[in-house]
Structure 1
Amino acid sequence: MEVTLKQKKRVKAKKELFSLGTTHFINDLMTTGIVPALMPLYKEAFHLSYTQAGAILLVSSLTSSVMQPFFGLFTDKSPKPWFLPLGIFITGLGLALSGFMPSYWLLLVMIGISGIGSGIFHPEASRGAHLAAGQAKGTAQAIFQVGGNFGQAVGPLMLPLFLLATGIKGLGWFLLFGLAGSLIIVKILPWYKQSLEEGKKRKKAVEGKTHILGLVGLTIVVTFRSWTQIGVAGFLPFYYLHHNIPLKIGDILTFLFLFAGAVGTFLGGRYSDRISHKWLLFISMFITIPFAWILPHVTGVLAIIDLLLFGFFVLSSFAITVVYGQMMLPNNIGLASGLMIGLGVGAGGIGSTLMGWISDTYGVNVVFDLFVILPILGTIITLFLPGEKKLIGNHEPQSS
């Protein structure tokens, strides 16, 4: 009977994990997925410079990502299950309203509101994935994170499907996306609340030790990875437009880059339960370098192959770094998740503003030189991160 009960709980947890992954898909489609792809439309509608267009990504990233550690820290001692449906609904509401704003500054406000919704959603959702994981932390994060990464990949495809025909007012449809995500997530709240209570009962008397220096180094590596990923997603359409390649082609290539990243996220997380997190991260960053260097020098089929491999390897460490960060900060799962998912990704928005300035000043081609330098720096820093043996006492973090 006990074995049967445990099996039922595992099946239930796996089902809810896929629900979390589905809502993560919807949420990230509406933020890091479609907002970078919308930059050319926003730029044309509001007559923006590259720097102003980059600032849209900055606001989105600051609110949706950089705020995540703060929401995570706020909810670590007292989790807020209702943040899940509220967050994803606000994400859709802000994005939908951004298509009807009469000025650039009000557009930024709506983008910020949408981002705050995403910032509220992520720490609680990542905690839910942690609760559903059991011993397979990497696999659980892979399932959860691949939903978000696939949402990022599908985002650019929304433009040729209907936005290029309807203009930015077509963003109003995303209110339905936010509502659908809320309805899906409401159904898992009973399981989530029960899992939180069970987690409190299992809480260890002696809390795990933190590794601050390792966490700082890991956050820097994640930031460099994010600058590379978001930079390519945001500026690849501009790069191809500069070379007289239609926007719809650039968006399809961006989709391929991000779709390959989603596949890399899943496989990387799956294997991280059996292979060193540190060395998987090192391999991910190191192998990215040649594909970043080749990108501006190839076209046609070679460009497609390069983007697929580039996207696969640069994001193959995504789920790994979340679990790695939780091992370094075992008593604050929400904060660790916010740092790895939020601050790291949010820094990409700051980087996009810098890249916008570089594009305005020196040309968009120069930006692609950065995509070689950043993985090199990330690879070097990874060598100095602590291995799992030093974190072994943290391998079973608390669930509250």
Structure 2
Amino acid sequence: MPKNQPLSRPRTITWLSLGHACVDVYQGSVAALVPYFVLEREYTYAAASGIVLAASLLSSVVQPLFGALTDRWPMPWLLPLSTLIAGVGVALSGITGSYVLTLIVVAISGIGVAAFHPEAARAARKASRGSHSAMGWFSLGGNLGFATSPLLVSAVIATGGLQASPLLVVPALAGAALCLSAVRSARTPAAGTASAGAKAGSDDWVSFARLSGAVICRSIVFVSLSAFVSLYAQERTGGSPAAGTAALFILYIGGAIGTVLGASLANRFGRIQIVRWSYALTVLAVAGVVFVPGPLIYVFVALASAGLYVPFSLHMTLGQDYLPQRVGTASGVTLGLTVSIGGLTTPVIGAIADNASLQVALIPLIVMPAIGWILVHSLQEPKAPGSSSEPRTQSTAAIRNDA
């Protein structure tokens, strides 16, 4: 398709993107709740990070399983159901009577998030008719959900305390309705729509493994910053919880800006090149977050957000293109397993912070994007389906062509 030809955004993609936003509110909400658990329940850093771990642990196992299942059987009914499960778990987290019950309900929320992403990514790829641009819009929806979650949590919990957490179920109700609309819309596909896998090429597991390793490194940095940047910003600036919420919002809003910027740059320079540059930027940005004091920390949080989010949708489409025969599995790993593994490291970060300081605990995060850069440095663009020699150079999305 010519570069200057606009790509349509089917109605299904619109509903899926909005539903994705509602679901990813709950991925961001768990980290946004951590400062309130520390303040109201007097949890230690390690205990609070265990909440993030609970939301991630089952997801890390379940999401690839759902991906493999959706490769065999489309399960559109999962979309509204998983959205409701994700919302109910977070909504109950503030009114549980014990730490164990809190762990259980946020784990249930994590299962809901895990069940949503592989089926939604499969449905979006099919509805997009192979358009990387449409997949970029799908990713953008999720990143906007991440970005708004700290604001939503702050508005609800800062006003009514943790006992007001049941109000956080509202995005789930809206998301379930949007997903139902997407399912209905997908039943009557546009003329010429075909499965993205109809002319799929062969799977490149070696490249996919390298990409997955890099995404794990990115995930460790992102999840750890999500869990602790709010508290750390308060320490470095001597500010209030609002100062911490601002840092978390800056980290998350990069999802919207980074997805658009990454798509535009990748269309010009190629996905692999932009991914490499992003990991290099993240090394410097995270070092600034850790060591630069005062209000300048917000500048480096913004740079870290760009470095972490610019390659986000590129990871997804590259993973799907490396495994064109297993789109659901690729989505389950790049959107699920690798992201969830980041949550497994947060208790370690929390324990170091309790025994030394939060700054010392965050220092290892500087190394992670450097390892990611090494892993992606030798990657090549996936070959176009049906081609033995010509690489696929179309990026995830010149989103500006669709605006």
TM-score after normalising by structure 2: 0.88
Given that 2:250 and 2:302 are in contact with CA atoms closer than 8 Å, whether structure 1 keeps it comes out as yes
Report the equivalent of 1:329.
323
1:272-287 equivalences in 2 (<5 Å): 272-287=266-281
TM-score scaled by structure 1?
Answer: 0.88
Identify the range of structure 1 (279-288 vs 185-194) with the bigger mean alpha-carbon deviation: 185-194
2-structure distance, mates of 1:160, 1:201: 42
Q: For the structure 1 residues 270 and 333, does the alpha-carbon distance in structure 2 shift closer, same or farther, using more than 3 Å as the test?
A: farther
Deviation at 1:123, TM superposition (A): 0.9
SS at match of 1:94: helix
Q: In the TM superposition, what is the alpha-carbon distance from 1:43 to its structure 2 partner?
A: 2.8
| Mapped contact 2:381–2:392 kept (Cα < 8 A) | no
CA contact (8 A) 2:384 2:392 kept: no
Structure 2 gaps of 5+ residues are 394-403
Q: Quick one: structure 1 residues 274 and 338, their matched pair in 2 at CA, closer, same or farther if it must change by over 3 Å?
A: farther
Does the 8 Å CA contact 1:142/1:268 hold for their aligned counterparts? no
Cα displacement (A) at 1:196: 11
Q: CA deviation at 1:195?
A: 4.4
Partner residue, 1:63: 58
- In structure 2, what is the equivalent of residue 26 of structure 1? 22
Of residues 14-23 and 224-233 in structure 1, the stretch that sits farther from structure 2 once superposed is 14-23
**CA 1:351 to 1:105, structure 2 compared with 1: closer, same or farther past 3 Å?**
same
Which ranges of structure 1 fall in alignment gaps of 5 or more residues?
Answer: 1-6
Which residue, 195, 200, 210 being the options, matches 1:217?
210
Indicate the residue corresponding to 2:97 in structure 1.
102
Kindly provide the CA deviation profile for residues 315-334 of structure 1, in whole angstroms up to 9, marking residues without a partner as x: 10000010111111111111
Following the alignment from structure 2 to structure 1, what is the Cα–Cα distance between the partners of residues 241 and 33? Answer: 11
Query: Residue 364 in 1 paired to residue 362 in 2?
Result: no
**Which of 86, 103, 120 pairs up with 1:91?**
86
The answer as to whether partners of 1:276 and 1:388 remain within 8 angstroms in 2 is no
The whole-number CA distance in structure 1 between the counterparts of 2:163 and 2:250 is 26
Checking the alignment, whether the CA contact within 8 Å between 2:90 and 2:165 is kept in structure 1 is yes
What is the deviation of 1:213? 1.6
Give distance in 2, aligned partners of 1:66 and 1:146: 25
What residue number does 1:4 align with? Answer: none
- How far apart are the structure 1 equivalents of 2:143 and 2:56? 15
Residue 64 of structure 1 contacts residue 114 of structure 1 at CA under 8 Å; is this kept in 2? no
Cα distance in 2 between the residues matched to 1:304 and 1:379: 24
- Provide the C-alpha distance between the structure 2 equivalents of 1:188 and 1:260, rounded to a whole number of angstroms: 26
Q: Percent same amino acid at aligned positions?
A: 29
Q: Name the structure 1 match of 2:284.
A: 290
What is residue 185 of structure 2 aligned with on the other side? 191
Q: Does 1:126 align with 2:126?
A: no
Separation in structure 2 between the aligned mates of residue 60 and residue 203 of structure 1, nearest angstrom: 32
1: CA distance, partners of 2:250 / 2:91: 25
User: For residue 65 of structure 2, what is the amino acid of its counterpart?
Assistant: F
Give 2:228's aligned residue: 235
The corresponding residue for 2:77 is 82
- Aligned to 2:10, the other structure's residue is in SS state helix
3-state DSSP of counterpart to 1:188: helix
Deviates more, 1:331-340 or 1:350-359: 350-359
Q: 1:203 & 1:339 partners in 2: Cα distance? A: 18
Inter-partner Cα distance in structure 1 for 2:367 and 2:319: 24
Alignment RMSD (CA, Å): 2.5
Are 1:277 and 1:388, in contact at CA under 8 Å, matched by a contact in 2?
no
More helix by share: 1
Checking the alignment, whether the CA contact within 8 Å between 1:61 and 1:346 is kept in structure 2 is yes
Q: Residue 25 of structure 1 aligns to which amino acid in structure 2?
A: A
Deviation at 1:207, TM superposition (A): 5.2
Q: Structure 1 residues 101-110 or 48-57, which shifts more?
A: 48-57
Q: Which residue of 2 aligns with 1:43?
A: 38
Distance in 2 between the 1:201 and 1:344 partners? 26
CA distance, structure 2, for counterparts of residue 221 and residue 87 of structure 1 = 28
